[in-house]
Structures are given as structure tokens and as C-alpha cells.
Amino acid sequence: MELYMSLAIGVLFTVGVYLVLSKSLLRIILGTSLLTHGVHLLLLTMSRLKTGAAPLLGQKAESYVDPLPQALILTSIVISFGVTSFFFVLAYKAYQKLGTDDMEQLRGEENE
Amino acid sequence: MNNLLVLPLLIPLCTAAILIFLKNNIPVQRWLSALSLLATVACAGKILYQVRMEGIQTLHMGGWLPPYGIIFVADMLSALLILVTAVVGAFCLLYSFGTVGEQRERYYYYPFFQFLLVGVNGSFLTGDLFNLFVCFEVMLISSYALIVLGGTKKQLRETLKYILINILSSTLFVAAVAYLYGVVGTLNMADLSLRVAEAGQDGILNVIAILFMIVFSLKAGLFLFFWLPGSYSVPPAAVSALLGALLTKVGLYALIRTFTLIFYHEPLVTHSWIACMAAATMILGALGAIAYSDVQRIINYNVIITVGFIAFGLSVTADHAMDGVVFYLLHDMVAKAALFILGGLIVHVTGTSQLQEMGGMMKRHATMGWMLFITALAIAGIPPLSGFAGKLLIIQGGLEEHYFWLTGVAVASSFIVLYSLVRLFMSAFWGEEKPRPATQAAVSTGMLLPAVGLCFIMIMMGIGSEWVYRFVSEAGNTLINPAVYIDAVLKE
């Protein structure tokens, strides 16, 4: 199971990196959100995907899945939500003011 | 157990929360943030005193013993760094009162300032890797806001790049944490250190170590500094002083902590990478510092050279070099804040940031000129000033460990620092006085005061080197012997 997850994460990373390297700002933001998806799945996978009950003590199971990575992922998800929404608004504002979403044109010292 | 440790985090956090409600009352905002910084300085001083008297202080959040809960640890290095952070923060705040402008102050400048300090202090104090990530994010998100606040075209343009780089490096940070958790199954730094030592730092752990190195190098501007010159030149001088003095240093602190506490078993792999990157950083930074004739660019490339220099000290891993790293880190936080503030004042007075268009300021602004001169000498490492002792110790360590080439590069980079800053001094303050812009910008005493204070600290740190060294050598000792840190955290 870990193997399939690793392959899927690899695909997410590949697509994310490809999008981040593109010219359009919106594609770059999509790329970063794919990357964060990949990394959250990686956190989940790295704690081993053994079968067990959800980490709720009421379930009275023999074994539970590791609860720590789930807490880490939850933290990381909200952080990346915050940053992504800020990034979107910034991109919108930059589009309004600079009049372009082409990163190629935002390279140098022009546009001041 | 020592509840004092959480105060450097809690005071700015509560202040920031209160300041949000006082949006339109700027005088109250100023008073409150100044008071809270004074309180933080006092707290940091108290923590430093306790660490000096009673050894490493720890705080287990919620009473959960390590490795299960989150822990705050103040060893000598962290205690010194939070004290200097608070002092530098106070001077930057004082400088921003007169310069940052009412528009920014109205739009939550002071809350962002306080949140940045929360992140920085948290990163210095935490003893948990994931908590370090969270504190990094607190610091970074406030820095995005501070850089873009004002919303001019160039600020928007550079913030886009700055955010993108930091999202990528944070993603890599989480990936590195995931791999490390997968291999050793813990996140507490002291416990990590033990388990990495037990497992032996073999192939997979070396890969993870290098991944952490990439992450922290991106944050610190060690070799991967391509984002730094642009993003640090766009915000107002008070903000870039804060960023230049604190942000890269947090990255450096994380590098120092990881590679002295956790991944210190294979210096041939990890530390020689750091050494190569440090050499490249010093050379490229030096090229940048000579190439530009723009005040902000020159200062930014000086930040990069220093990062390379400190990383060189870290890669040497000898007693003297570690003491030097701590000493130089403390000096540089003060000196870079002073340099950014003075650079901001020069731009404020002349109305331009190009060296060719300024000159002859010595007649009207002699105090500023001499302060810039002192700062330049201190950063280059001229003996009676604060930069000397740190540089001497790092170079001594480098020679003792037979890193002759690297030491040569480090010494040469000091000459180039001196050249670039003296060139700045000469072209701004000597020569013919250039015609001023029509609206003559005045410099009030309040704007000069923070620079005076920082220069005073640099001189005192230089003269009182022996006294500072007593603290610094204790910090260096903990870095060389991670067992001291681990014992303090795990055995209670």
C-alpha cells in the first residue's frame, strides 16, 4: 500500500513542480497547492499505513492507527490554507496593479 | 520547569492581539508595543540570568514529559539570541515610529511587528521540530504582510517571489519532518538526537540531513539566496532592518541547532557540504556587494556574506569556531540592524538610493556619517569593535582544523565587506555636496536615536569582549557537547 501511495505522491510532486515552473501566476499557485497535497499525503504515508481503528478510544479496538501524523497534517493543512488564500489575494492585487500575470514580465527592475 | 520561558512568546502575542482592537488609535499602539518590547527585554534578561546561574532551563507544556509533549528549552545560545532579538526589535520599533508612515501604522503595522517577534522567539526557544515549523510559519506569514504592506508595484512584484520561495521551502520542511518521523519516530529534538545516534547516521539519515540543510539554507540565504536581494530592498527601512537582522539569523540558528544536536555524526558528508556552500555564498555575496552602486543592494549582499561566514564557522566544528559562531551571530544581528537603519536614513535624506547621485553629506549629517563609519568597521571586524572577536575565533578555528582555503576566502570576504561599506561611506559623505531634492527631508533626533543606541551596543560589545565571551563560550560548549543539552531535556 505504501508503494502505491508513494507513486501517487511522486506524481503529485512532479505535476506540482511542473506547474510552479510555468509562466502564469495562477498555474504557479495551483502548483504550490498540489505540492502541499503531496506533502500531507507523504506525512500520512510515512507513519506506515497499517490497518487499525480510527484513533478514538471509544472504539475499544486492539490496535489504532498512529494519531500523531494526523495532528501534524491538520496543523499543516490550516497553515497552507492561510498562506494559499493570502497568495491568491496577492496575485489578484498584483494583477490589478501590475496589469499582468506573466512571471516572465515581472522579472527585473521594471514595473516600478 | 520554568514558566518564565513562555513569556518571550506570550508577551508579544498578547500585545499583538490587543493592538488589533486599537486600529485607529496610533499613539496608544506605539506606547503599547514599546512597553511590550521593554517587558520582553526584561524577561529575556531574566532568562539569561537564570541560565547562567542554574544551567539549561526547560518548560514542559501542559506537564507532559518529553518526548511526548512540546517542550521549550533555553540553553545559553537561545537565551542570548532572544535577548538580542528583543533589543534589536526595540530599536527597530523606535525607528519605525518616525519613518514608517501613518498609512501603514493604521493598517496593523504594529500587530504584524509583534507577530514576527512571536515567531522569532518561538523558533529560538522551541525544542520540538514540528513546533519549529509552526514558529517559522508564524514568522514568515508576518514577514509577507510586512513586506507587502503599502502595496506599491515593486512591493507586490517582490512579495510574489518571496512567498513562492517560502511556500516551497516550507513544503520541503514538512517533507523532511515526514521522512525523519518515518525513520526514527519522534519529533523532540533531544530525543531525535539520541535515536539518530542509536540508529547510526547511515544513508537514509544523511539524505534527510541534506534535505534539512536545503530547507534551512533557503530560509537563511546560504547559497540559495537568490530571493534575498530583491525582497529585502522593497519594504521601508525599518522593516528591512528587522528582516535583515532577524529572519536570516533564525535560519542560521536552525542550521546550527540541527547540525550540532541531531546530525553531527557524519561531518564528512554534511559539514563539508555546508563548507562548500559557505565558500560559494561568501564569494557570490562579495561579487554582489562590489557590483552594485545601490545602497540597499550593497547592504543586502552584505547580509549574504555574513550568512556565508557564520556557516563557515559552523562547518568547522571546533571549540573556538563554535564560540566564534555564537559571538558573530550576536554581533551581526545588532550590526545589520544598524546598517539597514543608517542606509534607510541616507536614502531618506538624499531621496535616492544610487551612490553616484549622493555626496557631501558630512557637512550636515556628521553624526550619521561617523555612525556609518563605526558600523562599517565593526562589520569588517576592526579590533576595538564587536565584529573582531567573533571573526578572530572563527578564523582561529578554521586554521586549527586546517581549512586553509576556506579561511582564506573568509578573510578575503572581510576585506571586500570593508571595501563595499567604505565605498558607501565615501560616496555618500565625502566629496561635493549634490543639489538636494526640492523637498528637503529633515532628520529628527528620534530617527537617529536607534542607530546611536545600536552603535553604542557594538562599541560596548567590542570593549567588553571578555565579559561577553564568558556567556558565549558557555553557549559554544553546549553546541560542541550535545549531551549537555540532551541530559537537561530528558533527565528530570
Nearest to B153 among A75, A80, A112 (CB): A112
User: How many angstroms separate the Cα of B122 from the Cα of each of A34, B118, B326, B477?
Assistant: 29, 6, 19, 23
The mean of the pLDDT values for chain A is: 91
Nearest residue on chain B to A109, judged by CA atoms?
B154
Which residue type occupies B43?
C
Helix/strand/coil for B258: helix
Which of B157, B160, B175 is nearest residue A39 as measured by Cβ atoms?
B175
Q: Which residues of B make CB contacts under 8 Å with A?
A: 130, 133-134, 137, 141, 144-145, 148, 151, 153-154, 156-157, 159-161, 163-164, 167-168, 170-171, 174-175, 177-179, 181-182, 187
Grid cell at residue A75 = 496543523
- Residue A106: list chain B partners with CB under 8 A: 157, 160-161
Q: Which residues of A touch B137 (CB under 8 A)?
A: 79, 83
Contacts of B298 (CB under 8 A, 6+ apart): B289, B292, B420, B421, B423, B424
Best of A12, A33, A83 to disrupt the B interface by mutation (most B CBs within 10 Å)?
A83
Residue with cell 535577548: B83
Domain ranges for chain A: 1-51+64-102
Q: What is the pLDDT of residue B444?
A: 81
Buried b vs exposed e over B61-99: b needs ≥16 C-beta within 10 Å?
eeeeebbeebbbbbbbbbbbbbbbbbbbbbbbbbbbbbb
- Mutation test of the interface with chain B: which of A87, A88, A96, choosing the one with the most B Cβ atoms within 10 A? A87
Report ipTM (2 d.p.): 0.95
Using a CB-CB distance cutoff of 8 angstroms, which residues of chain A are in contact with residue B153? 97-98, 111-112
- Contact list, A111 vs chain B (CB under 8 Å): 153-154, 157
Domain ranges of chain B: 267-474
Nearest C-alpha in B relative to A82: B141
pLDDT at B438: 55
Which residue in A81, A105, A16, A40 sits closest to B160, CA to CA? A105
Instruction: Quickly list H helices, B65-152.
Output: 76-99, 102-106, 109-125, 129-148
- Are B171 and A35 a contacting pair at CB < 8 A? yes
Q: pTM of the entire structure? A: 0.95
Sequence letter at residue A80: S
Grid coordinates representing B1 are 520547569
Do B413 and B428 form a contact (C-beta atoms < 8 A)? no
Cite the DSSP H helix spans in B149-269.
153-184, 189-199, 203-220, 228-233, 237-242, 248-257
- Residue B41's contacts (CB-CB under 8 Å, 6 or more residues apart) are B83, B86, B87, B90
Q: Which of B156, B163, B178 sits opposite A97 (nearest CB)?
A: B156
Is the pLDDT score of A37 beyond 90?
yes
Distance CA B284, CA B296 (A): 17
Question: How far is it, in rounded angstroms, from Cα B353 to Cα B338?
Answer: 17
- The pLDDT of residue B358 is 85
Torsion angle defined by CA atoms of residues B335, B339, B342 and B346, in that order, rounded to the nearest 10 degrees: 170
Which cell goes with B223?
A: 547559497
> Percentage of chain A surpassing pLDDT 70?
96
pLDDT of residue A111: 45
Contact B178 A93 (CB under 8 A): no
Query: H helices of B248-403, where?
Result: 248-257, 270-291, 295-316, 319-350, 366-380, 387-400
The minimum CA-CA distance between B188 and chain A, rounded to whole Å, is 13
Which residue of A lies nearest to B156 if distances are taken between CA atoms? A94
Cell numbers standing for residue B269: 558528508
Spell out the per-residue pLDDT of chain B, length 492, in tens: 689 999 999 999 999 999 999 988 999 999 999 999 999 999 999 999 999 999 999 999 988 888 889 999 999 999 999 999 999 999 999 999 988 888 899 999 999 999 999 999 999 999 999 999 999 999 999 999 999 999 899 899 999 999 999 999 999 999 999 999 999 999 999 999 999 999 888 889 999 999 999 999 999 999 999 999 999 999 999 999 999 999 999 999 999 999 999 999 988 889 999 999 999 999 999 999 999 999 999 999 999 999 999 999 999 888 889 999 999 999 999 999 999 999 999 998 888 888 888 888 888 888 999 999 999 999 999 988 999 999 999 999 999 999 999 999 999 999 999 999 999 999 999 888 776 665 566 778 888 999 999 999 999 999 999 999 999 999 999 999 999 999 999 876
Q: Which residue of A has its CA nearest to B138?
A: A79
Give the residue from chain A lying closest to B158, CA to CA: A106
Distance from CA of A1 to the nearest CA of B (A): 15
Neighbours of B247 (CB within 10 A): 25
Q: Among partner residues A28, A42, A111, which is closest to B164 by beta-carbon distance?
A: A28
Partners of B60 in the beta sheet? B71
The domain at A1-51+64-102 falls in which architecture? Orthogonal Bundle (1.10)
B65: CB partners within 8 A, 6+ apart = B492
CB B150 within 8 A of CB B236: yes
Nearest CA in chain A to B135: A79
Q: Give the three-class secondary structure for B430.
A: coil
CB spacing of B156 vs A46 below 8 angstroms: no
Which chain B residues contact residue A19 at CB under 8 A? none
Nearest to A98 among B144, B156, B161 (CB): B156
Cα(B357)–Cα(B347) distance, rounded to whole angstroms? 11
* pLDDT tens digits, one per residue of A11-33: 999 999 999 999 999 999 999 99
Give chain A positions within 8 Å (CB) of B170: 79-80, 83
Residue B40, amino acid: T
**Amino acid at the residue B243:** L
Task: Please give, rounded to a whole number of angstroms, the shortest distance from the CA of B160 to a CA of chain A.
Answer: 7
What residues form DSSP beta bridges with A53?
A: A64
Residue B5's pLDDT is: 93
End-to-end CA distance of chain A: 52
- Among A30, A36, A43, residue whose Cα is nearest residue A101: A30
Residue B182: its chain A contacts at CB < 8 A? 46-48
- CB-CB neighbors (< 8 A) of A47 in chain B: 181-182
Q: Calculate the CA dihedral of residues B396, B402, B406, B409 and round it to 10 degrees.
A: 60
Per DSSP, the three-state class of B294 is: strand
The answer to whether the beta carbons of residues A22 and A31 sit under 8 Å apart is yes
Sign of CA dihedral B396, B399, B403, B406: positive
Find chain B residues with C-beta within 8 A of A21's C-beta: none
**How far is B50 from A63, CA to CA, in rounded Å?**
45
Closest CA to B85 of B127, B137, B120: B120
The rounded distance, in Å, linking the Cα atoms of B304 and B292 is 14
CA distance B35 to B110: 12
Cβ of A76 within 8 Å of Cβ of B178? The answer is no
How many CB pairs below 8 A link A and B?
Answer: 94
Q: What is the DSSP string of A86-101?
A: HHHHHHHHHHHHHS--
